[in-house]
């Protein structure tokens, strides 16, 4: 019956994580998957999340099906987080927001929407980008192409990026990382965002923002700059955001898709079509995680501690960047490691080759993605010197 079904080789990052978990070596270090760990290499349970869960359990409320668009309190809290509660986009009701199964689910809903209502539009993603981006749009039947974004040793190649986007047909979709670019950690400056937004508007392109790491670059408000700048420029755009990292709700799959429209009437049309897509895909989103998010975002007694925890996570990542940089400079003075201090968020591109990455795994039990991407959040005070020593050895041998 199923002999014609092809084998699935596995997702490269998830398969690497599985290999790490099966590795018996006690000194192993996981710098592959994008999960925040504390200094004891544990996934922290945030107190605000715990308190919200206790309240939900004490309320002992029923668990009905949510509407296809999700819970209204969650959706409203998402809009306030992205734009600010008093922002014109919110008060004029011209944003259509649906609760999704993680931001991955939001990205996929947006892909299906684009295929249906902008059938001639292709999607352009950065080179490089998060691996599943391409597959999500291709599986919706959309042609996916790349625009230049990053050069090892050179950072963002902004002029080449602008030149490529300036040549796109009107209504082309441009996927952009709002902050903490995955996989490179190299972000646009605010001035570059303003220049880019002017081009997007002039060329009538459709921005699609992926915002999975709000709060991990500079702060909650600061990391919403691109979203709010697009809105201020009067553009219509899509943004998928997530609470997996910022609240440690990885397995709860809490995310949203928001489409900013020219007016409330168009937003209502868009919301209806997103509801229809959700209904025929997974019917409705899960209730528990979304209510945790809504409670934390709207209750000052929970939001304050959450923001402090998020700040601690951000500053710990920054400290690990500084420690790894210092350790590498001591061991390999000829190397150029300044990127560790300028790139932001959980990831950095190291420039290590696939062969060197394989050697780090086989010889030192240090797991990286074969592109050379390193998850800075997997470093801690117990392993950073070990990792630096192993990387320095590989770089010395390559000279």
Q: What CATH number corresponds to the domain at position 359?
A: 3.90.1150.10
Write out the chain's pLDDT in tens, 399 residues.
Answer: 998 998 887 777 888 888 899 999 999 999 998 899 999 989 989 999 999 999 999 998 888 999 999 999 999 999 999 999 999 999 999 999 999 999 999 999 999 999 999 999 999 999 999 989 999 999 999 999 999 999 877 799 999 999 999 999 999 999 999 999 999 999 999 999 999 999 999 999 999 999 999 999 999 999 999 999 999 999 999 999 999 999 999 999 999 999 999 999 999 999 999 999 999 999 999 999 999 999 999 999 999 999 999 999 999 999 999 999 999 999 999 888 999 999 999 999 988 999 999 999 999 999 999 889 999 999 999 999 999 999 999 887 765
Query: Rounded to whole angstroms, how far apart are CA atoms 14 and 20?
Result: 10
Identify the CATH number of the domain in which residue 162 sits: 3.40.640.10
Domain boundary among 283, 298, 313: 298
Q: Based on the number of CB atoms within 10 Å of its own CB, is 265 exposed (0-12), middle (13-18) or buried (19 or more)?
A: exposed
Domain shared by 235 and 374, yes or no:
no
**Backbone phi, then psi, for 377, in 5-degree steps?**
-65, -15
Domain shared by 16 and 82, yes or no:
no
Residue 59 covered by a domain:
no
Domain shared by 352 and 277, yes or no:
no
| Total residue length of the chain | 399
Domain shared by 193 and 235, yes or no:
yes
Catalytic residue among 124, 187, 245, 309: 245
Domain boundary among 274, 298, 322: 298
Residue 1 covered by a domain:
no
210 is catalytic: yes
Domain shared by 36 and 80, yes or no:
no
Residue 7 covered by a domain:
no
Catalytic residue among 210, 223, 275, 309: 210
What's the domain count of the chain? 2
Crossing angle of the two packed helices 384-397 and 354-364, in degrees rounded to 10? 130
For the whole prediction, is pTM greater than 0.95?
Answer: no
Domain shared by 81 and 192, yes or no:
yes
Domain boundary among 298, 324, 354: 298
Residue 6 covered by a domain:
no
245 is catalytic: yes
Cβ contact 113:240 at 8 Å: no
Residue 50 covered by a domain:
no
DSSP 283-305: SS--SHHHHHHHHHHH-HHHHHH
Residue 88 covered by a domain:
yes
Range of the domain at 355: 12-44+303-397
Encoding tokens for residue 390? 């192993």
Catalytic residue among 124, 130, 223, 309: 130
């Amino acid at each position: 019956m199923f002999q014609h079904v092809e084998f699935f080789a596995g997702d490269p990052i998830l398969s690497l994580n599985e290999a790490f978990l099966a590795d018996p070596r006690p000194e192993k270090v996981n710098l592959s998957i994008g999960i925040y760990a504390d200094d004891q290499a544990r996934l922290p349970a945030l107190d605000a999340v715990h308190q919200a869960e206790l309240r939900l359990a004490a309320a002992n409320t029923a668990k009905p099906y949510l509407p296809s668009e999700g819970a209204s309190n969650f959706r409203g809290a998402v809009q306030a987080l992205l734009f600010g509660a008093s922002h014109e986009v919110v008060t004029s009701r011209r944003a259509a927001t649906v609760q999704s199964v993680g931001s991955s689910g939001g990205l996929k809903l947006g892909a299906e929407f684009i295929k249906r209502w902008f059938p001639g539009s292709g999607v352009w993603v950065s080179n490089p980008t998060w691996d599943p981006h391409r597959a999500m749009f291709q599986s919706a039947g959309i042609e996916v192409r790349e625009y230049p974004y990053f050069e090892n040793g050179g950072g963002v190649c902004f002029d080449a990026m602008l030149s490529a986007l300036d040549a796109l047909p009107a209504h082309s979709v441009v996927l952009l990382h709002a902050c903490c670019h995955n996989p490179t950690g190299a972000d646009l400056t605010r001035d570059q965002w303003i220049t880019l937004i002017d081009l997007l508007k002039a060329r009538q392109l459709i921005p699609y923002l992926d915002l999975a790491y709000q709060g991990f670059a500079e702060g909650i408000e600061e990391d919403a700059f691109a979203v709010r700048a697009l809105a201020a420029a009067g553009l219509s755009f899509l943004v998928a955001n997530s609470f997996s990292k910022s609240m440690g709700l990885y397995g709860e799959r809490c995310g949203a898709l928001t489409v900013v429209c020219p007016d409330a009437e168009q937003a209502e049309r868009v919301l209806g079509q997103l509801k229809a897509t959700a209904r025929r895909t997974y019917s409705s989103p899960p209730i528990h995680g979304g209510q945790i998010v809504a409670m934390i975002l709207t209750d000052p007694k929970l939001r304050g501690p959450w923001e402090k925890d998020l700040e601690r996570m951000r500053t710990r990542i920054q400290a690990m960047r500084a420690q790894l940089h210092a350790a590498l400079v001591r061991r390999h003075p000829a190397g150029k490691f300044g990127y560790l201090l300028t790139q932001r968020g959980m990831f950095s591109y190291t420039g290590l080759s696939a062969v060197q990455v394989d050697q780090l795994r086989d010889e030192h039990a240090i797991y990286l993605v074969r592109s050379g991407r390193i998850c800075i959040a997997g470093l801690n005070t117990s392993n950073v010197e070990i990792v630096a020593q192993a990387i320095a050895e590989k770089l010395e041998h390559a000279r």
